[in-house]
Structure 1
């Protein structure tokens, strides 16, 4: 049985590079289907992609996450390769991403730009290296991961991962969401070092270092709350408890010495903080039970997918 490989290229105003990227993937994977999803480009991206032989589709909702959602829903294949259309990732190294998927060693493979040092040499955008390291450190610490490169856009997936992944983020947070979902649901991950080169002259990045960086941090925060509510609300409990203790100790000391409470506002505030601490702890336990049930349902969904795919 011949395997079916789909190359997924989200594109927004990439007329300078789209033809070369398509041709490079055609050389590397002659039998693959190459999909270009145009995300409201105002240049000739979709026209050039069609002439170059790609399957062109359109996503009217702006944002890379919206594009990936449509790709994962609409495209059927055995293996998927996702890359940016800006000619920064090497199509010639695509087999590095496919091999662990074919061997069953990975559900998602990650093109690691950072291990061989090419990203530091090629990337000319300020703060991107700092942002990558910050996000990597947060995710590895919060989710007990061992990622080298969180934000890479060069990834491979098997069909199981694609068809059971719920895309929530609308924009460039999608890479972060993919990484956290894979860790939380215990998918098999393999990182493979790849070479990286910066965009060619005249091609402009669509990333905004600070606004998109803030969105990524917000995504990490939200998914941490959603996936690990007991830890999240326990930290809130500790915060409320410590502040309540700080405010309440002078009140308790005063009452022990005089039998009276003159600092009534402090007493009310301390009591309120302690109540919030208790409520936060209880909420964490309840939500942890809900998340555990969700994980069980997700595992059953995966088993159901296996059963249907084997028929």
Structure 2
């Protein structure tokens, strides 16, 4: 097997020789100068620097000697490496960008194989369903019912999909209940890719962030091609979720977001009025064609998740939905909004007046902190 050459600052502590064990891995350093016939035998090179500028310099040092050598550039959710950095890498060889996640080390092997053999499919599309749960003990029947529906949908129509229940610092038995649900979930489904996560995963955040932290946790810890962020109380319908997934997979949009303002059932008139006022105030923050940021159903591509994540802030709580829309607008992501059916369940944790005041304060914070994003 031809060797794989690695240039790394070791900032991510990736054990390349252990993970890529069936390749001859050669570890270089920042002062390495590729020369001689030895380097000509290299099949591809991995560039792993936490500083994006150093990554570009290392990649160009390699390409100066071997313009056609395939490169695997490693970054992560916290790195500032973006499209403009990739455009500065010289040469004509293939380039892949791997967002490193220590929970999925085998993705390194998959990406090397895909880089060396692009004619062979590496894996099937994986869809992650991320559900925020908080103090749902009294309403857990709704959560369990929705999870069963999503599992049936995954097993029948998605196959390569996983469900993530993230507990947002509950003070009751919610964590225990979702962990029990995880243990009871069958894993014997007809998956092609055996390395994907179990069908249902229970995760503990350990603090209450009013949903924002669960979004960030899902984006950071889960490896998927598409992400579905949806309320866990069985208020949305599988048909709408499936429609949004089908549209985003066509590739014309980076994000599909729902709006329930014209379709929600059993909604108190006071919430209808406040939603109307919020829409008027938040309109300048929303992408073209989007009128509602707060409906708890969104589908994003992995590219959109990686571009949004570095800018999102946990302390915004429920206003993280609006911040996502504003950042998407600043980054010129392609966003589509669709009406979805919704049932407002009893026992909601939304405090109408308090949360409305917090929302107004958050609008000022979003403008102050995010308006310079490009």
Q: TM-score, with normalisation over the residues of structure 1?
A: 0.67
CA distance in 1, matches of 2:150, 2:208: 25
Q: Could you say which residue in structure 1 is the equivalent of 2:132?
A: 10
User: Residue deviations 1:115-160, cap 9 Å, x none?
Assistant: xx322x4213x53222222222222235574323221010001101
How many equivalent residue pairs?
224
SS of equivalent to 2:300: strand
User: Residue deviations 1:240-296, cap 9 Å, x none?
Assistant: xxxxxxxxxxxxxxxxxxxxxxxxxxxxxxxxxxxxxxxxxxxxxxxxxxx3xx52x
Unpaired stretches in structure 2, ≥5 consecutive residues: 1-122, 186-199
User: Residue deviations 1:153-195, cap 9 Å, x none?
Assistant: 1000110111222221431111111121111211111112211
2:229–2:296 contact (8 Å) kept in structure 1: yes
Q: Which runs of 4+ in 1 moved over 6 A?
A: none
| Closer, same or farther: CA 210–77 of 1 in aligned 2, 3 Å | same
SS of equivalent to 1:33: strand
The answer on 1:99 being equivalent to 2:246 is yes
SS of equivalent to 1:146: coil
SS of equivalent to 1:191: strand
2:285–2:329 contact (8 Å) kept in structure 1: no
The answer on 1:50 being equivalent to 2:174 is no
SS of equivalent to 1:213: helix
1:36–1:57 contact (8 Å) kept in structure 2: yes
1:136–1:147 contact (8 Å) kept in structure 2: no
The answer on 1:205 being equivalent to 2:348 is yes
1:18–1:45 contact (8 Å) kept in structure 2: no
Q: Could you say which residue in structure 1 is the equivalent of 2:166?
A: 37
1:24–1:92 contact (8 Å) kept in structure 2: no
Q: Could you say which residue in structure 2 is the equivalent of 1:70?
A: 217
CA distance in 2, matches of 1:5, 1:197: 24
Aligned residues: CA RMSD: 1.9
Q: Could you say which residue in structure 2 is the equivalent of 1:276?
A: none
The answer on 1:178 being equivalent to 2:290 is no
CA distance in 2, matches of 1:145, 1:210: 28
Unpaired stretches in structure 1, ≥5 consecutive residues: 229-290, 296-311
2:287–2:325 contact (8 Å) kept in structure 1: no
| Closer, same or farther: CA 223–211 of 1 in aligned 2, 3 Å | same
CA distance in 1, matches of 2:306, 2:213: 15
SS of equivalent to 2:291: coil
Shift of 1:39: 1.6
CA distance in 2, matches of 1:186, 1:20: 37
1:25-174 counterparts in 2 under 5 A? Answer: 25-30=150-155, 31=159, 32-52=161-181, 53=185, 54-63=200-209, 64-114=211-261, 117-119=262-264, 121-124=265-268, 126-141=269-284, 145-165=288-308, 166-170=311-315, 171-174=317-320
| Closer, same or farther: CA 175–71 of 1 in aligned 2, 3 Å | same
CA distance in 1, matches of 2:314, 2:356: 14
CA distance in 2, matches of 1:9, 1:84: 6
CA distance in 2, matches of 1:49, 1:90: 21
| Closer, same or farther: CA 20–222 of 1 in aligned 2, 3 Å | same
Shift of 1:65: 0.8
User: Residue deviations 1:218-253, cap 9 Å, x none?
Assistant: 12122223444xxxxxxxxxxxxxxxxxxxxxxxxx
The answer on 1:214 being equivalent to 2:357 is yes
SS of equivalent to 2:179: helix
SS of equivalent to 1:29: helix
1:12–1:38 contact (8 Å) kept in structure 2: yes
